[in-house]
């Protein structure tokens, strides 16, 4: 009986199921977008739904964190023999791709004037004292230039301007 030709009503039912799937498939994405617009209208900042939408639509690399992307060696970064140059190794021009690590999120009882970074291949985090007026939640990234000198950037939404941070760092750096 399984080899039998499907009946007219079975064909109609299969067609109805396909149409229902095609109509219902974008529904979660539409609801997600409407929810994000509603949250933005309420004043919530930094709503990011791109990763969720990519997962819904099955895009490659969906949900990949920025740190993972930054630590991916580009295909064109090869030596003269065609081997990929690993992170932390300089190329023929002396350019080194740095290992990127996230800033540890401050805890409830952590000092807001300091940020912690766990360098690659180390077990003890580095504690960076921030300039006066800069809080841990304002910090976007910390670049370790030398073991005791840091470059700190703040988010665009921060009340502290980049010039203020540069002035404070130059005052404390000398």
| Residues above pLDDT 70, as percent of the chain | 87
CA distance 123 to 75: 30
Confidence of residue 100 (pLDDT cuts 50, 70, 90): confident
The greatest distance separating any two alpha carbons of the chain, rounded to the nearest whole angstrom, comes to: 88
Determine whether 50 is exposed, middle or buried from the number of CB atoms within 10 Å of its CB (0-12, 13-18, 19+): exposed
Q: Is 0.75 surpassed by the pTM of this model?
A: no
CA distance 21 to 15: 10
CA distance 130 to 75: 37
| Lowest mean pLDDT segment, chosen from 5-9, 73-77, 168-172 | 168-172
Each residue's pLDDT tens digit, 23-42: 877 888 888 889 989 988 99
Greatest mean pLDDT among 7-16, 73-82, 118-127, 140-149 lies in: 7-16
Query: Among residues 161, 127, 158, 160, which one has the least CA distance to residue 144?
Result: 127
Query: Among residues 124, 104, 115, which one has the least CA distance to residue 150?
Result: 115
Confidence of residue 62 (pLDDT cuts 50, 70, 90): low
pLDDT at 145: 66
pLDDT at 174: 45
Query: Among residues 5, 13, 57, 12, which one has the least CA distance to residue 33?
Result: 57
The DSSP annotation for 25-74 comes to TTHHHHHHHHHHHHHHHTT------HHHHHHHTT-TTTT--HHHHHTSPP
Each residue's pLDDT tens digit, 104-148: 877 777 888 888 888 777 788 888 888 888 888 888 888 776 655
Domain boundaries, the chain: 101-174
More confident residue, 149 or 151: 151
């Amino acid at each position: 009986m399984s080899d039998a030709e499907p009946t007219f009503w079975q064909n109609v039912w299969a067609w109805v199921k396909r149409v229902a799937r095609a109509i219902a498939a974008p529904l979660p994405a539409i609801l997600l977008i409407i929810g994000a617009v509603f949250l933005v209208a309420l004043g919530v900042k930094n709503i990011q739904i791109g990763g969720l939408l990519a997962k819904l639509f099955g895009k490659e690399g969906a949900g990949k964190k920025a740190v993972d992307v930054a630590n991916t060696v580009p295909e064109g970064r090869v030596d003269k023999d065609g081997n990929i140059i690993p992170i932390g190794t300089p190329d023929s021009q002396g350019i080194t791709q740095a290992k990127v690590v996230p800033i540890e999120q401050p805890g409830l009882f952590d000092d807001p004037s300091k940020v912690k970074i766990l360098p690659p291949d180390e077990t003890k985090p580095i504690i960076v004292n921030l300039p006066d007026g800069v809080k841990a939640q304002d910090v976007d990234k910390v670049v370790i230039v030398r073991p005791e000198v840091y470059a700190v950037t703040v988010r665009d939404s921060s009340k502290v301007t980049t010039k203020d941070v540069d002035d404070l760092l130059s005052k404390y750096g000398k």
